[in-house]
Structures are given as C-alpha cells and as structure tokens.
Amino acid sequence: MNVTEAVTTRRSIRNYLDKPVDLETLTRVMDTARWAASGCNYQPWEASILTGQPLKDLQAKIIADGPQAAEYDWAAPGTEDTYKERLNRVSAGMFGAMGIARDDGAGRMAAMMRNATSFDAPAVMFVYFPRLMKEPQWSDVGMWLQTVALLLREEGLDSCWQEYMALYANTIREFLGLDHERYMFFCGMAIGYRDPDAPLNNFERERVPLDEHVKFIGFE
C-alpha cells in the first residue's frame, strides 16, 4: 500500500471484526511512528495501548464512573455555520447508516455511548502528554496520530480517533497511574480490523473542494 492509498482508504471505523491485533504488528507501527515530525524535536506524545482483560477492566470503570467535565473544547467550531454544516452532513451519514432517525434521541444517545467501549475494538490507544505542552505541541501530537493511522492502514488495520474519551480523563489517568497534575489526557484511538460489511463503515463521506482550503500563488 502506498501513501496515497493509505490516506484515501483511512476512515473512522466504528464496527470491528472479532479479531485480535498482534503485538508484533503494533510494535512495528509504533516504532516507525517515532519518526513523525515535531517542532524542536520535543516528541511530546505518550500513550498506553490496552487489549484483553486490562482493556475490559478500564472500560467497565469508564462506564461505572460516567463522564466528567472535559478539560478542552473540541466542539467550538460548531458555533459557526460553515463548520456546523460539515458536522451535520457527516452525522446524517453516520446515523443514517445505522438507521437511526433524527428525532430518535434515545437511539442517538445509545450510539454515542458506544464510544465508551471504543466500538468494541480489540485494542485501544490512550494518548496523553505533559500539561506544559502548548498549542504547537498539540499539533505535533496530531501529526504523530496521523502517522500512526496511516501506518496501521499499511498493515491492513483501521482506527478511530476518540476525543470523546476526554470526558473520562480522570478515570483513565487513575487507571493508568498517571499524575493528574502533570498529564493532560488527549484522546483514545480504537484499533482493529474493520468489518467490511457494516453500513457504518461504508456510508458516503464528503470533503470540501480543494479550492476552499488551498490557494496557489505565484505559479505559472
């Protein structure tokens, strides 16, 4: 698989096959991802990858404890119509694929709560970093996460970023033995093999046309 194929076939997967992820494969992916770019070579990212009983134990605690106040706001762009519309379109595709009507509040909530168990993915990466890291380093963590996602595709694996997991930051830090004062919990990342027949993994996605994002200036 070349880079273009990895980029264009990567998508947020929310239905996984009941198939374990091999430690050797994950180690290879994470070892290669160390070469992701970071400003000043800070390499701010840290993570724990769980599977099996430890993952089940953490997920049971997440469900028991319930959500907490998130330490950062990922929804702010939705206050502007342009970005709200992009969210609405992908939400319509996602809930439509599950057959959940717009006015089915209970069904939508149940679907969202699947985030708590990372859509039953066989492995989940929990990502965090020292609080002294500021906006540029958050960007670096994003570049590292993208690198991980593309390397997973090269291995035939899939993933789903979960900023939603920030609602359980205290529970996750406690379970992983992280100092609450030192570490910002950032996100989860579900990892596994996609169910190719699941409608939720196949609904049509949209991307904004290139000319709405990028200007080319000074070219002949």
Share of the chain above pLDDT 90, in %: 93
Tell me the pTM: 0.95
Every domain of the chain and the residues it spans = 3-73+116-203
Report residue 1's pLDDT band, with 50, 70 and 90 as the boundaries: confident
List b or e across 46-74, with b for residues whose CB sees 16 or more CB atoms inside 10 angstroms: ebbbbbeeebeebbeebeeeebeebeeee
> Which residue type occupies 90?
V
Superfamily of domain 3-73+116-203: NADH Oxidase (3.40.109.10)
Instruction: Dump pLDDT digits (tens) for 10-20.
Output: 999 999 999 99
How much is the average pLDDT of 111-126? 94
Calculate the alpha carbon distances from 178 to 73, 129, 168, 182, 211 in Å: 22, 10, 13, 8, 44
Instruction: Dump pLDDT digits (tens) for 81-116.
Output: 999 999 999 999 989 999 999 899 998 888 888 999
Q: Give the residues across from 185 on adjacent strands.
A: 128
CA distance 109 to 128: 26
Instruction: Dump pLDDT digits (tens) for 162-207.
Output: 999 999 999 999 999 999 999 999 999 999 999 999 999 999 999 9
Average model confidence (pLDDT) for the chain?
96
Asked if residue 40 has pLDDT above 90, the reply is yes
Which of 125, 204, 159, 124 has the alpha carbon at shortest distance from 10? 159
How much is the average pLDDT of 61-80? 94
